[in-house]
Amino acid sequence: MKKILWLTSWYPNRTDRFTGDFIQRHARAVSQYQDITVLHVVPNPNPSSEELIENKQIKEWLVYYKGSSPFRYLKYYKRLIKSYISKEGLPDLVHVHIPIKAGLLGLWMKKKYKIPFLLTDHYGIYNELVDEPYSKRSPFFKFFTRKILRESSLFLPVSDDMGRAVSRLVLPKNYRVIFNTVNESYFHYRPRVRDNFRFIHVSNMAPLKNLPAILRAFAAISKLKPETELVIVGPHGPEELAAAVPTGLLNKSIFFKGEIPYHEVALEMQSADGLLLFSRTENMPCVVLEALCCGLPVIAPAVGGIPEVIDPSNGILVRPGYEEELKQAMLGMITESARFDGSSISKKAIARFGYPAIGEQISQIYEELISGRSD
């Protein structure tokens, strides 16, 4: 096993257990094949503290520091890297996740220790629909994003759409797509026995997720198929969203579960019949991959990397913002549900997105880069 050091801009921590959880799942997947240590620093109003988490999967070294200036960030991150090297020795390779800010440490390690780094990006800023797209970021942000990308040995976007967008907007760069990964021990197929059809929507409920349009479309469908249900999982509860729910449907046909743990999301998916997503923009949403691993067919907009994983055998693509298309897709999925083979959808998805598949892909890339460096 090779010793790989991960430098992360986002990562779950005790102040925010969900941020960058997809990066943590990548780490757990590849840790089945390589020795992974994750380093992450977190601004926090409490005094500086360290947290070392070691388990059978990965080692996570987290430092919490007071203040939020970039100089303090770099100071504490460099100190953490030096502490790692003093205890573990130099790594064989560095893997940066999200260029800004952890990529700055990737550049520093490459210069100081002559260790190359590869770069994975998950950031959905390479379009004009988000509030702060790459095109409107500061000169500092753009300069160092370009430099980090240029200096990386390999770029690993989580979708081909992102790879092309980064090459167009930042700088041309060869890349290899590594999809987000799914813990198949939670997200797998379980046969569902129920007379009615249940949709599920899982998101952070940000405006770009377009939840009101989903609610309107569901209200129209419920008039034709009154037994149909919609379960919504996310950080808001029914009290906050009651005004957006069509009259008479709350807790009768539409059910809000709030924010729940990862394994409970899997249970909710395993109790559903189809996933609904109607975002204005996406990158490679984990929720789509998780639903597929559970054997759910997916209705989703043809944006970002979604068309790379959805085809007629496992879902229906619609144009973003076209609510009539969404309604017709929902009605079609209900009336023709038998054409979607949940067991087959799940097997194909797990073979493509499960921990063993993604972990082995990343591990092979490490071996190639390290071998090339030795040669």
Structure confidence at residue 238 (pLDDT): 55
In the chain, the largest separation of any two C-alpha atoms, in whole Å, equals 69
218: which 2 tokens? 């569901």
Q: Compute mean pLDDT per 10 residues along the chain, 375 residues long, and list them.
A: 96 90 96 96 76 77 86 93 96 97 98 97 92 94 97 97 96 96 97 89 92 93 94 76 73 91 96 97 96 98 97 97 97 93 98 98 96 67
Structure confidence at residue 237 (pLDDT): 57
Q: How far apart are CA 112 and CA 343, in angstroms?
A: 51
309: which 2 tokens? 């994983």
Superfamily of domain 3-181+354-374: Glycogen Phosphorylase B; (3.40.50.2000)
Structure confidence at residue 241 (pLDDT): 63
Residues ≥6 apart with Cβ < 8 Å to 209: 203, 277, 278, 279
Residues ≥6 apart with Cβ < 8 Å to 2: 34, 35, 92, 93, 366, 367, 370
pTM, two decimals, is: 0.94
Structure confidence at residue 216 (pLDDT): 92
Shared fold status for 3-181+354-374 and 198-353: yes
Q: Where are the domains of the chain?
A: 3-181+354-374, 198-353
Q: How far apart are CA 251 and CA 239, in angstroms?
A: 11
**Could you tell me which residues are beta bridge partners of residue 41?**
63
Structure confidence at residue 47 (pLDDT): 62
What is 198-353's CATH topology? Rossmann fold (3.40.50)
